[in-house]
């Protein structure tokens, strides 16, 4: 831990203030040595004061020369005038920005110190005869110190001193680390990226953890690893940052030995360690490092052998150790068993402009006149930090004309320094993977991944493996199913192709630039070097193109994107007397203009033929058929095709013929063993016979109005989707389809019979037979039994994995959830469905009375009904297994008394039953009831028997506006966890509520007449959520500060509440505090002790005049809402210490004129609302943030430090100028 040189004029990191007689030789001695072990330079009077000096002078100087103070309050601390004078000096220094004090309550309570009561009061009483002014200073210093966030021994690890000291040391280390460690101002956007890595490292866990940082060259992996290392290395017993592992390891033996030696020397802090061999290095590392908690960074690793030599196994390291590995190749991490792998995130535009400006201008915004040029540079760099730094340094100090010239050059000549770094990953690839990479860079970028695989496999590559390798090496990415790569990697790939013949594109292996291709084809310059062509044909005629292809004798890949279809070209034009190269493996020509393929084309190598929207009428000229032994993918969708014979394509996998409006006939082989998908929708096909198709997954015949016959194979084991809408089929037998998920037979008006084998129902999730008007017979065969269901006209069923009904004893029939209890006044439910276990939710809007037959469903467990019903059957008690009963929006006035006999009922929900006037008086006999919910009911009180519900966990009484009181013995609900009361007329709560020892949530919403809370509310020891709104209370019981598990405390619209309990800071677990529209003038100072507070809402506290000075001690606070605090004049400077603050709302703080100067230290701040304040100047430090600022009238977006401003007459303009592309 560095010390004095790191920050302003401090000789010591920590000053210890304590009463020597109490703790000098015990607690303080242990604490002092623990701090020394962490290299924290600490002042302790008996160790540091030189002989011969006056102690008081030296002491006061040492206080001023210390950054942090630890005040150890013990029994006799307050009896020592020496200690108290020392404390006054410490608290005076603490009031400045440069010092921070922390209290430690050793064997006294914080409130004893704060109030000078108890043992502290007894000790302080020894100063009764002292000067009153002096004692008042001492009292104030003690009160102020006790209100600070600190540590209490008895509340930490059951009072274990060793663990207590460890917590203090860790806290101080983190505080000093945040001061010592400053991210290089040029490392823009590093904080967010660091936090992601730090979260994965989990430095507080006692395991050994390896994580990887993976990404393309120049992406910032090393910078990120270095920033993380610098921030957390002090937490470890040894640390080593090993750079350039790839480069140094090229000489395998000497390189790895030198790296092993570096790790040993760094971690053990020894020089002269020798390593004779890699094996020797392994043994020494295992033997000597295993006893130390280590942080190790291995930067730029490219082979797993390097990891085996430098971090072979987790058992080499002590528990708590962390190893960070950066690499371009994910497979290296996978092979070494690294589970946590993080992709480096490139810079956002706002981050990129900030970084570029720091290198180009030495400031955070562009110089006047360079705004647009800077944006062009950033656009070219595409978020790559390396390119941004190189170009920023290169353009620094150059004229505008030189900038323009440099940008023009970049359009044709890539940046050499960037390409050199990126090409390292390419050079490591196997030869076939290099070819795949070049194909993606030049031809396939932006293609769907599945399409690219098909293209590459057509050309003979093992595409899936190859693409995975490229992805692992950070050369490509898979973005939502599409192949992508960074612009500079694409540029690098294209440069590799061009540089062999820079001025002769016709000799390139791949052609992708339209004007170059048109020039080559128009001038008949084709050569056998060309293997891949992809271009948009807009000007060149098809005849010229076909003629020019003849010289490209090695052409394998041809992808023509037709720019326009000439209306003058007749659809029946004959194929010209030219031919495609017979080497073609992938032929994709959208809107192919000829009636057929050339007769001379020998397609022996063709794997993919894709000609959608073409004018093809027949596949081959003259109606010839050819063997296409390698053809796997065929797409002639939306073409003029009339017939197609696929009897000579044994390896066909995908057939797309949808939208072929003239297609009437298709023939398949008797055995299509590889066929996976068939699309024939919206064609005029009349019959289709499928033989053996064991791999068929999708058969789409939707919208085929002429289809009269479909012959399916007896078994289709992989078929998942079968769509046959709008056909003329009369009888359909789909055979055995065990994996069928979707069967769509909509509008099959002629369908009369459907035969299915029971096994096909197990995975069915969508079955639609709507508008099958003639259908009258539905047959399922289940284990030699037949179940017939008829009629099903106009019935749409969707199977769901929920409790439903079993219509067959063996449960092979799928379970359907009933959506309507009655349909067209005919019941769908009968007592014959004896195994029905769930009904609902059911819309009973047109139903007044629930049929008594429902009471015959003796196995029913869940009954959920909505709307209409006025009366519940009196025999409801026969549903003896009922567990959940829910009535919503019904007209029920009362429940039958025998409902209390439902011994298994767990959930009773009566929602929006606005006519319900009372509950059964014996409701307490529902011995299993866990939840009781009433909303919008007319009840005035609850039956006393409700207090007998020993298992009730949730009681919600919502919008019961006539409810006047709660049962007196409500505290007997010993299992109650949640109590919600809203819009009731109650004036107070029964005192017995304080006996609810398991209550976790208490919500009292819009109880306008409620005047007070029980004084012993603090006895609710498990309460973690307390909400109180629109009540008449003036104050809160002091006992509320005893709620040690309270996490959420919301007081909304309590407009008569004038003060908060003084000891509110003792709510140790509080995370959310909302005081919306309270009448308070200030907050208790103790609020600054709420270490875990995440959000503080003070919106519309119209009388709030000031905030506690030490509010910045709320180290976990993420949101501070001060909207409409119209009397607030100042934000305390300490707020700048809130490292986690993300949102700061100051709207309508109309007397607020300035922000703290160091607001830029709020590194997590993302949103700042300054509307309708008097603030007209932003502090310069705000340019360090990446924050959206909302000013008067319109948003100000801060891109790094680059402000886009939409308001006139606003002095914000002095801090940033609007660019041309204002947001």
Contact (CB, 8 A) for 1222 and 1204: yes
Backbone angles phi, psi at 849, to 5 degrees: -125, 135
CB atoms within 10 A of CB 717: 13
Phi-psi category of 693—alpha, beta or left, where left has phi over 0 and alpha has psi -120 to 50?
A: beta
Please report the DSSP string for 639-675 in residue order.
S---EEEETT-TT--EEE-TT-TT--EEEE-SB-TT-
Residue with tokens 């040189």: 5
Residue 1206 exposed, middle or buried by CB count within 10 Å (0-12, 13-18, 19+): middle
Cα–Cα nearest to 1103, from 1078, 1066, 1139, 1084: 1078
Q: Where are the beta strands (DSSP E) in 1111-1218?
A: 1119-1121, 1143-1145, 1167-1169, 1188-1190, 1195-1199, 1202-1204
CA distance linking residue 172 with residue 341, whole number of Å: 31
**Token digits of residue 658:** 């949808």
Q: For residues 781 and 135, give the distance between their C-alpha atoms in angstroms, rounded to a whole number.
A: 96
Residue 227 to residues 209, 307, 493, 806, Cα–Cα distance (Å): 18, 22, 31, 61
Burial of 96 by CB count in 10 Å (0-12 exposed, 13-18 middle, 19+ buried)?
exposed
CA 268 to chain CA mean position, Å: 40
86 flagged as catalytic? yes
| Beta bridge partners of residue 886, listed in sequence order | 864, 909
**Could you give the C-alpha distances from 54 to 60, 124, 623, 978, in angstroms and in order?**
10, 26, 114, 64
Contact 443, 557 (CB under 8 A): yes
Q: State how far the Cα of 970 lies from the Cα of 993, in Å rounded to an integer.
A: 6
Question: Do residues 804 and 833 touch, judged by C-beta distance below 8 A?
Answer: no
From the list 86, 457, 518, 1099, the catalytic residue is 86
**DSSP line for 129-150:** TS-HHHHHHHHHHHHHHHTS--
Question: Considering only CA atoms, which of 482, 487, 421 is closest in space to residue 451?
Answer: 482
526: left (phi over 0), alpha (psi -120 to 50) or beta: beta
Residue 362's contacts (CB-CB under 8 Å, 6 or more residues apart) are 396
Give start and end residues of each alpha helix (H) in 854-908. none
Beta strands in 409-509 (DSSP E): 477-479, 482-484
The answer to whether the CB of 281 falls within 8 A of the CB of 305 is no
Q: Return left, alpha or beta for 460; rule: phi > 0 is left, psi -120 to 50 is alpha, else beta.
A: left
CA gap 213, 199 in Å, rounded: 13
Contact 1170/1195 with Cβ under 8 angstroms?
A: no
Question: Coil, strand, or helix at residue 10?
Answer: coil
What is the distance between the alpha carbons of residues 310 and 323, in angstroms, rounded to a whole number? 10
Partner residues linked to 678 by β-bridges: 655, 699
Residues 1061 and 1038 sit within 8 Å (Cβ to Cβ): yes
Which residues belong to the active site?
86
């Amino acid at each position: 831990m560095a010390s004095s040189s790191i920050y302003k004029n401090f000789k010591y990191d920590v000053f210890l203030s304590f009463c020597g007689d109490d703790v000098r030789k015990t607690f303080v001695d242990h604490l002092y040595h623990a701090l020394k072990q962490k290299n924290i330079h600490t002042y302790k009077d008996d160790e540091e004061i030189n002989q011969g000096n006056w102690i008081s002078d030296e002491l006061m100087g040492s206080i001023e020369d210390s950054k942090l103070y630890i005040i150890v309050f013990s029994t006799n601390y307050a009896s020592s005038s020496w200690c108290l004078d020392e404390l006054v000096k410490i608290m005076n220094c603490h009031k400045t920005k440069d010092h921070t004090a922390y209290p430690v309550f050793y064997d006294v309570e914080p409130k004893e110190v704060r109030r000078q009561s108890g043992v502290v009061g007894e000790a302080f009483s020894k100063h009764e005869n002292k000067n009153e002014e002096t004692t008042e200073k001492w009292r104030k210093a003690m009160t102020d110190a006790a209100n600070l966030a600190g540590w209490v021994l008895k509340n930490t690890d059951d009072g274990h001193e060793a663990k207590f000291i460890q917590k203090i040391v860790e806290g101080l280390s983190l505080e000093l680390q945040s001061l010592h460690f400053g991210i290089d101002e040029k490392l823009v956007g590093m904080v967010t990226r660091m936090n992601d890595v730090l979260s994965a490292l989990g430095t507080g866990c006692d395991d050994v953890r390896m994580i990887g940082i993976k990404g393309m060259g120049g992406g910032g992996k090393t910078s990120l690893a270095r920033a993380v290392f610098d921030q957390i290395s002090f937490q470890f017993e040894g640390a080593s940052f090993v750079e350039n592992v790839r480069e140094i390891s090229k000489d395998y033996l000497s390189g790895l030995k030198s790296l092993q030696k570096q790790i040993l020397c760094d971690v053990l802090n020894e020089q002269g360690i020798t390593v004779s061999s890699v094996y020797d290095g392994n043994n020494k590392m295992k033997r000597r490092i295993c006893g130390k908690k280590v942080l190790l960074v291995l930067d730029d690793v490219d082979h797993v052998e390097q990891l085996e030599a430098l971090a072979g196994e987790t058992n080499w390291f002590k528990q708590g150790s962390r190893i960070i590995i950066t690499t371009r190749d994910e497979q290296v991490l996978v092979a070494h068993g690294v589970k946590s792998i993080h992709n480096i995130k490139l810079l956002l535009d706002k981050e990129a402009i900030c970084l570029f400006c720091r290198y180009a201008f030495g400031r955070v915004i562009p110089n006047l006149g360079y705004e647009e040029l800077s944006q062009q540079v950033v656009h070219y760099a595409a978020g790559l930090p390396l390119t941004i730094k190189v170009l920023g340094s290169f353009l620094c100090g150059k004229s505008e004309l030189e900038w323009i010239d440099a940008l023009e050059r970049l359009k044709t000549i890539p940046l050499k320094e960037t390409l050199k770094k990126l090409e390292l990953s390419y050079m490591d690839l196997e030869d076939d993977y290099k070819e795949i990479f070049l194909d993606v860079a030049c031809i396939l970028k932006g293609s769907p991944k599945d399409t690219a695989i098909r293209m590459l496999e057509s050309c003979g590559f093992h595409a899936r493996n190859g693409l995975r390798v490229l992805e692992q090496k950070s050369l490509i990415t898979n973005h939502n199913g599409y192949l992508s790569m960074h612009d500079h990697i694409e540029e690098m790939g294209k440069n590799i192709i061009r540089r062999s013949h820079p001025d002769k594109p016709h000799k390139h292996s791949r052609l992708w630039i339209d004007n170059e291709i048109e020039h080559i084809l128009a001038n008949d310059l084709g050569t056998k070097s060309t293997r891949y062509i992809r271009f948009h044909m807009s000007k060149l005629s098809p005849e010229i193109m076909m003629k020019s292809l003849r010289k490209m004798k090695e052409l394998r890949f041809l992808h023509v994107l037709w720019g326009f279809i000439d209306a003058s070209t007749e659809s029946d034009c004959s194929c010209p007397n030219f031919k495609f190269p017979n080497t073609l493996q992938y032929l994709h020509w959208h809107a192919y203009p000829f009636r057929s393929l050339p007769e001379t084309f020998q397609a022996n190598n063709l794997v993919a033929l894709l000609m959608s929207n073409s004018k093809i009428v027949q596949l081959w000229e003259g109606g010839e058929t050819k063997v296409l032994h390698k053809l796997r993918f065929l797409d002639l969708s939306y073409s003029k095709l009339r017939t197609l014979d696929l009897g000579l394509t044994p390896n066909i996998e995908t057939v797309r013929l949808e939208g072929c409006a003239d297609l009437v006939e298709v023939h398949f082989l008797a055995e299509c063993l590889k066929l996976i998908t068939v699309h024939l929708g919206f064609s005029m096909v009349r019959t289709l016979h499928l033989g053996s198709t064991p791999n068929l997954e999708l058969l789409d015949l939707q919208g085929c109005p002429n289809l009269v016959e479909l012959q399916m194979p007896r078994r289709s084991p992989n078929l998942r989707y079968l769509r046959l809408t709008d056909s003329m089929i009369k009888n359909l037998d789909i055979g055995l389809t065990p994996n069928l998920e979707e069967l769509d037979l909509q509008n099959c008006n002629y369908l009369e019979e459907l035969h299915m084998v029971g096994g096909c129902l197990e995975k069915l999730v969508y079955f639609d037979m709507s508008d099958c008007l003639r259908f009258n017979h539905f047959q399922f065969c289940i284990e030699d039994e037949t179940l017939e269901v008829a009629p099903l006209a106009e019935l749409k069923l969707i199977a769901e994995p929920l409790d439903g009904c079993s219509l067959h004893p063996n449960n092979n029939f799928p379970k359907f959830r009933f959506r309507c209890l009655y349909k067209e006044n005919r019941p769908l439910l009968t007592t014959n469905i004896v195994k029905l276990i769930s009904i609902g939710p059911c819309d009973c809007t047109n139903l007044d009375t629930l049929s008594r037959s429902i009471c015959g469903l003796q196995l029913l467990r869940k009954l959920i009904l909505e709307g209409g019903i006025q009366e519940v059957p009196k025999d409801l008690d026969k549903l003896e297994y009922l567990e959940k009963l829910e009535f919503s929006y019904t007209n029920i006035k009362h429940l039958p008394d025998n409902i209390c006999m439902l011994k298994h009922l767990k959930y009773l929900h009566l929602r929006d039953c606005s006519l319900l006037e009372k509950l059964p008086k014996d409701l307490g006999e529902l011995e299993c009831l866990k939840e009781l919910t009433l909303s919008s009911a007319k009840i005035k009180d609850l039956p006393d028997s409700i207090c007998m519900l020993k298992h009730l966990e949730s009681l919600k009484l919502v919008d019961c506006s006539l409810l006047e009181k709660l049962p007196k013995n409500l505290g007997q609900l010993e299992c109650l966890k949640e109590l919600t009361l809203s819009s009731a007329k109650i004036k107070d709560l029964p005192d017995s509520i304080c006996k609810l020892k398991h209550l976790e949530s208490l919500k009292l919403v819009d109880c306008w007449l409620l005047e007070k809370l029980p004084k012993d509310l603090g006895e609710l020891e498990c309460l973690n959520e307390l909400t109180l709104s629109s009540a008449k209370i003036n104050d809160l019981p002091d006992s509320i500060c005893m709620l040690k598990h309270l996490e959420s405390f919301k007081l909304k619209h309590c407009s008569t509440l004038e003060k908060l309990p003084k000891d509110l800071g003792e709510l140790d677990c509080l995370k959310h505090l909302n005081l919306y529209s309270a009448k308070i003038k200030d907050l208790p100072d103790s609020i600054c002790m709420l270490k875990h507070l995440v959000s503080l809402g003070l919106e519309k506290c119209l009388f709030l005049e000031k905030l506690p000075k030490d509010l910045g001690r709320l180290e976990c606070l993420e949101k501070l809402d001060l909207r409409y605090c119209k009397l607030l004049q100042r934000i305390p400077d300490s707020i700048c210490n809130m490292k986690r603050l993300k949102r700061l709302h100051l709207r309508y703080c109309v007397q607020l004129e300035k922000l703290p100067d160091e607001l830029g230290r709020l590194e997590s701040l993302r949103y700042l609302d300054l509307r309708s304040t008097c603030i007209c100047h932003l502090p310069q430090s705000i340019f360090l943030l990446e924050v959206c600022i909302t000013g008067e009238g319109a948003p100000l977006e801060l891109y790094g430090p680059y402000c886009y401003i939409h308001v006139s007459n606003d002095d914000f303009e002095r801090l940033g100028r609007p660019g041309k592309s204002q947001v």
